[in-house]
Structure formats: structure tokens, C-alpha cells
Structure 1
């Protein structure tokens, strides 16, 4: 079973038709549809609406989300700063960065044919354009060049889902809708883009648990780095920050040894301030 979250009705409509899903009698605060195996939830745009819908679903559907093989997905459109990514291309997301929180999230990497393309993604609070327009926020080319895709929901989806569902059951798939020209896609254009990738995603959500395990990258062992950080008296929040940074480095350089700042011995008067400074230096190496 899968719970499929869409920000827009035009994103969900092709799935509603394909799965022959019907509206639930008890709708809650968000529009929900159900087929024999899957649920479709339409949240409205924005990460707060998405996070609220995910939370409502997870709290009211504990039995479903604890079923064997359950998956929770956010499928939708996103703008791409890179014109080399054609409109309509599909990507599984392997890194989500929330612009306002300045925080990273790392979905499981998907191996194999579902499809092989992966991308990083920036989640923003307002529509973005590379040109000045009253309805869009303009980002510079240098800011845009850091990201493969830009959307307004993924970080809210992933953060909320991760509170209730194991990470290996949470996925984000995005389709390129535009290149940030400062215009909105029509509902018809959105439906056409989404419809072209339904079979790819359906094949993925219908695989068995053992098949899914084969498609996911094996967990990365950061125990040496974490134990070292604990020796330096990192707090829990600092350890969490370090894990995100380590994952970011691994995604960029999967075959390279993880660097550490030079460090001789732990001084007797070592304080929390020293640990914070060491983490700052370490992160600079990992994000270089």
C-alpha cells in the first residue's frame, strides 16, 4: 500500500483516473481519494500545508502505515534552474534543502531502474524566478546553480513523514515543469507531465519488500565519526547536524574517505564552545 501526496489537484488527477480512486466519505481537512490499494491526498501548495496533511494522515491511519510494504510518497512538479533538464524529466530526490530553515534532509537513494536519475532539491516558501516579476522571488544565477530542482513542498513532506514512518519507506519524486521563467504551468500541462510517469512510479510502489531492499543503497556506517564526535562532547543537536553533513559529503563523493580537521588531544578545559568551533570547521571541510 502507498499513500501518495500531491500539492495540486492537477498533479493528482492522472493518478485518480488511473487508479480509479474515489473520494473518501470522511475527508478531514484535505481532499482524499482511495483505491483498492492506495490513498491519494491533495494538500494544497506549500510546505506547511503538506506537513499538516502528512501529519493528519499518519495520526489517523496508524494501521495502514504499519502494514508490510507501506510507502509514503510526494510526487509532483518542480522548476529546474538547469535548462539541460528537459521539461517532463523525472527524478528521485536524494537531498532536500529547506531554504528558510537552512536544513538538509536525505531520502534513501534508489538504485536500479526506477529510474536511475537522481537530483537534489531546494524547497522555498515562495515561487522562484530567475527574472524579476511581482509574483515571484528572484534568485541570482549563482544561487540557482547550486540546485537541480526547486519546489515548495518536499521539505515539509519529508520532515513530517519521518516523524511517523521509517526513512526507507519515504520517497520524493519530481518532474521538471519549467526553467523558472516566471510563469505558471496550466493544469492541462501539469496533468500531461504527471501522466507520462505514472507507470514508472506504479512499478516502484508495487514491488515487494525484498525487491525494495535491493533497490535502496545500503545504510552508510558513520559510527567512527559519530563516536569521535561524542568523544569531543558533541550535543545531540550537534550530532544530528554532523550526520546530515556526513551524508551530504557521501552523496557527493561516495568513494572518498571522510575528512576530519586536524586534532591532537582533548584539552582538559575543553568546553562546549570548542566543540561548536570544531563542528563548524568540520562542516566547512564536508561542504567544500
Structure 2
């Protein structure tokens, strides 16, 4: 059994099923579907605004895309491996809903600027969410520090007692780390928040598009000055991963201290029953699973 290629006009044979499975990315890039739909809605509106398609065609495209969004949220649209990737899955379903006009959605757009736009929309959203979580984390640290200004604990070097320090001072060290993490993500956001849509495959398009209009619809702060740069570089993604790695380093460091402090040897803190687990054979155990798992998951971010 063979499978039809996504872009197959010039090919005489279908794709081998093993190759199709190997090529497919739908299993993980389905995570981008909401952002792909949002970017496509903006692109469809731009095509209609500039006269590349008719207003009626633009309306049909937008309505179809929003119907796909609703179907996905309700669990009615679940693309299979034959879709290859999320972008083809959306376009195929759109054509099923609105007919051949659905094929006009890709006018003046390449997969390159489409994927670049989706990725930036995704990261922009994730950066905002993480910054909110960091602020929540800082608030918890401040509340704890305020309650323990006079609480003294040993400060350690080489895991040997070195100098006394207030617990508040110790906790506020993590507040400062989180503050830098928050600021770092904000700086990265500025570089993520630039629209590559309209860059095409690498050298733009001869269609009379309006890049600034789509950037405005999508909430971007501007457009890429160079189309090749817009689609060929992923430095913004590497920056995000570096910032995420630093956040995990800080959380891993705090988690390690919590594990030590909750041990019988240290006994500085006591875990509540709702935050610990027991042992299948040793009833005296109270295991600090949460900080242990935080430390373990750090490697996933480091890569």
C-alpha cells in the first residue's frame, strides 16, 4: 500500500507508507493548531483586503477556519498520520468544508513563513504564561520570607555549616533569580514578537500583500526587515530554550535544598501529607516526590 504525497503534481508514484510514517510530524506539531488557525485567519483577511481574493472568498475561508477551531476544541477534529503535519491537516479539512476556495488560502504564502509565524505565536504565548507563573512564584517567596525574617538557619559551603543566615534572606535569593528569569523572557519576547509572514519561501512574493496588516492582526510588534532572515533563522527559539534551561537550573537548585531540608539528617522542614508519598515496604518513609521530579525533569529542558 502506498500513500499520496502532500505536494505530488510532478510525481508519478505515491509515497511508501514507511516513508510517510517517518516523515509525519502530526503527532507533535498538532500542538501548533490553534496558532496555525490564527495565522491563517489573518492571512485570509489580508488576501481579501488586498484584492488577491474576493471579500466573499475571504469570509468563507475565515468561517471555515473558525469551524475547524471549534471542531478541534470539541474533539471532533483529530487528524491522523495521513495528514503528515498540522498545516496540511487544516488545509485539507478547510477544503472539505468550503470547497475549492479552501485551496486559495495558501496563495502568497510558503510553508516556511507559515511555520515561522506559528512558532513565534506559540512561543509568544508560552513566554507570557511562564512570566505569569514566575510572578506567582515570587509572590509565594515574598510571603514566606516575610514570615521568617527572624528565623535563623545555617548557611552552607561545601555542605558544611559556614555562617548563620535568616531564612528570609535565603528565600529572597530565589526571588532575585526568578526576577532575572522574568526579565530575560521579556527581552526574548521582543525578538520573538516580529512577524515573518510574507517572507515566502525566502525571497518574498510578487503578490501585492500587506505584511504590516497581518502583523497588526496577529499583534506582532513589527515585520522582518529581511525575508531570508525571517524564515531561515531560529535564534529566537534557541534563546527561549536557554532561558528555560536557566529557570530549570534555579528550580532544580531549590528542589535539591528542599530534599535535603526534609531529610531526617537536616530536619529543617516537614512536608505535608498532601505533598509526599510513602514506601511500599518502609512505613516510616515520607518521600519528597515533587522536588525530586522537578529535578528529574530538568534534563528534558536541557536536552
Identify whether the pair has TM-score above 0.5, normalized to the shorter chain: no
TM-score range, shorter chain: under 0.3
Would you tell me which structure has more strand in proportion to its own residues?
1
Q: TM-score, with normalisation over the residues of structure 2?
A: 0.26
Q: TM-score, with normalisation over the residues of structure 1?
A: 0.27
Bigger Rg over Cα: 2
Q: Higher relative contact order at CA 8 Å, sep ≥6: structure 1 or structure 2?
A: 1
Would you tell me which structure has more helix in proportion to its own residues?
2
